[in-house]
Amino acid sequence: MAIEFKKTVERTVVLDPSAGFAPKEVSLETRWDPLTGETSRLFEVQWKGEKPNLREMYRAAIEGFCPFCPDNLERVTPKFPEEFIPEGRLKRGRAVVFPNQRPFDKLAAVVVLGERHFVTLEELDLDLLLEGLLAARSFLQRASQWDPSLRHFAINWNLLPPAGGSVVHPHLHAVAGGHPTNHVRKVEEASLAYWRAHGRPYWLDLWQEEKKRGERYLGEVEGLPWILTFAPKGYGEVLTLFPGEGSLLQLPEERLRAFVMGLGRLLNFWSDYGVYSFNLVLYGGGREPVEGFWVHARALVRRVIPPAGASDVSAFQTLHDQPIIYTFPEKLRQKMQPYFEAQR
């Protein structure tokens, strides 16, 4: 097996005031991502989320003007050019797609998930989410046909302000561009290098190795593996693989349906664990499948830190490009795995 789970442990001693300033050993674990070589630093802090009163916390956003609500959407949100999308906006069931005026990429769209203005994690409608993902995929498919320069496609989700959601009305982002993000570039280059070196996808080897070890493997839902990442980028990061699928543009609807089913189990755990905000990205690959690359998704918890309401992202993440993680995925797996058992 070519995959290596590399880590080091560094220890130091502090004088603990809670124990009369007796010596106490503390440790920091550094882990290397098996594909890209990027590092994460981990140490243990006991945390079980205590959900705040979200309706009180976001009262101003809930009661204020919302461009995504039905009375406003048709009037104040932009439309696509007629030569691109003749109908101006795309619709799939209750999901509506329109241009994002913030240029996150060459073509960027907002996908509004239904008419309900404020939805907590527990209230998320999985059928509606599937409609939103299918609408986003439809937009990306049309974009790829309209503009041959587009090479990279993704669907992003920032649920609520701690995750960067500037509008509380639930929505996704669908993005298409000619240049990959830094992370996607590293993943694509490393996936191709692994394929050339070993003659098989990294993602297949990772799946088999994680399943064999059972340390971070959560299970499979309708053929899609769910795995806690070895070197996470954020708290409780979970990786979902789409076996053999090289492009989101060609992803069958049943694969997205299976993804939503598994996501429902993850949301159940997060709800029970006190989580209320998260980031999720569905990395869609390119216009055509590329050797060694599989479509995959990553999701991680976002929160504010009491009592000051501090961000969970600091200078380490923003300026050192260094994830700092406050729990070990192997410990978290013991709590999460039952949610992915077949009978649930």
pLDDT tens digits along 149-199: 999 999 999 999 999 999 999 999 999 999 999 999 999 999 999 999 999
Which class for 231: exposed (0-12), middle (13-18), buried (19 or more C-beta within 10 A)? Answer: buried
Q: Would you mind telling me the total number of residues written for the chain in this entry?
A: 344
3-state helix, strand, coil in the chain (%, to 5): 35, 25, 40
What pTM, to 2 d.p., does this model score? 0.96
In CATH terms, the superfamily for domain 54-340 is: HIT-like (3.30.428.10)
Domains of the chain by residue range = 54-340
In the chain the first and final C-alpha atoms are separated, in Å, by: 32
Confidence of residue 1 (pLDDT cuts 50, 70, 90): low
* Bridging pattern class, strands 39-42 and 324-325: parallel
Q: Is the pLDDT of residue 344 over 50?
A: no
Can you tell me the mean pLDDT for 15-42?
Answer: 97
CA–CA separation, 276 and 296 (whole Å):
23
Beta partners for residue 14, in sequence order: 24
**Contact residues for 95 (Cβ-Cβ < 8 A; gap 6+):** 111, 112, 113, 114, 128, 131, 132, 134, 135
Q: What is the pLDDT of residue 51?
A: 82
Q: Which of 154, 141, 121, 133 is nearest to 273 (CA)?
A: 121
CA–CA separation, 315 and 318 (whole Å):
5
287-309 pLDDT per residue, tens: 988 889 999 999 999 998 877 88
Q: What is the pLDDT of residue 305?
A: 84
For residues 128, 131, 133 and 139, what is the CA-based torsion angle, rounded to 10 degrees?
A: -140
229-270 pLDDT per residue, tens: 999 999 999 999 999 999 999 999 999 999 999 999 999 999
